[in-house]
């Protein structure tokens, strides 16, 4: 049987159509049975444990830059009010 490029292209086109149809049907059925949330968007949320300290990501910093200074430790707590009053006027306090 001689090589027929047009026949081969037609067969590939039909096969692509069948694959596309099957893919669409699979996606529809998947969404009916197990709806999912999108895994990509342009809105990002950072969820992390309170034990992760010094982890600050402003808009201009990438994750790889911010993680360099981060560390795990006990969550920082504010000093009790009694200690705040005990600081004298001549002492500098930095927050």
User: Do 63 and 57 meet the contact criterion of CB atoms below 8 Å apart?
Assistant: yes
Give which of 42, 37, 67 is closest to 53, Cα–Cα.
Answer: 67
Residue 87: both structure tokens together: 């600081």
Note the pLDDT tens digit of each residue in 10-69: 778 888 888 888 888 988 888 888 877 666 766 777 777 888 888 877 778 887 888 888
d(CA 47, CA 30): 28
pTM of the model: 0.33
């Amino acid at each position: 049987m001689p090589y027929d490029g047009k026949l081969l292209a037609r067969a590939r086109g039909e096969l692509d159509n069948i694959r596309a149809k099957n893919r669409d049907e699979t996606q529809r059925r998947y969404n009916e049975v197990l709806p999912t949330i999108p895994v990509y968007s342009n809105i990002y949320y950072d969820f992390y444990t309170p034990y992760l300290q010094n982890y600050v990501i402003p808009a201009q910093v990438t994750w790889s830059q911010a993680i360099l200074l981060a560390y795990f430790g006990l969550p920082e707590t504010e000093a009790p009010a009694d200690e705040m009053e005990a600081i004298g006027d001549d002492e500098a306090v930095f927050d």
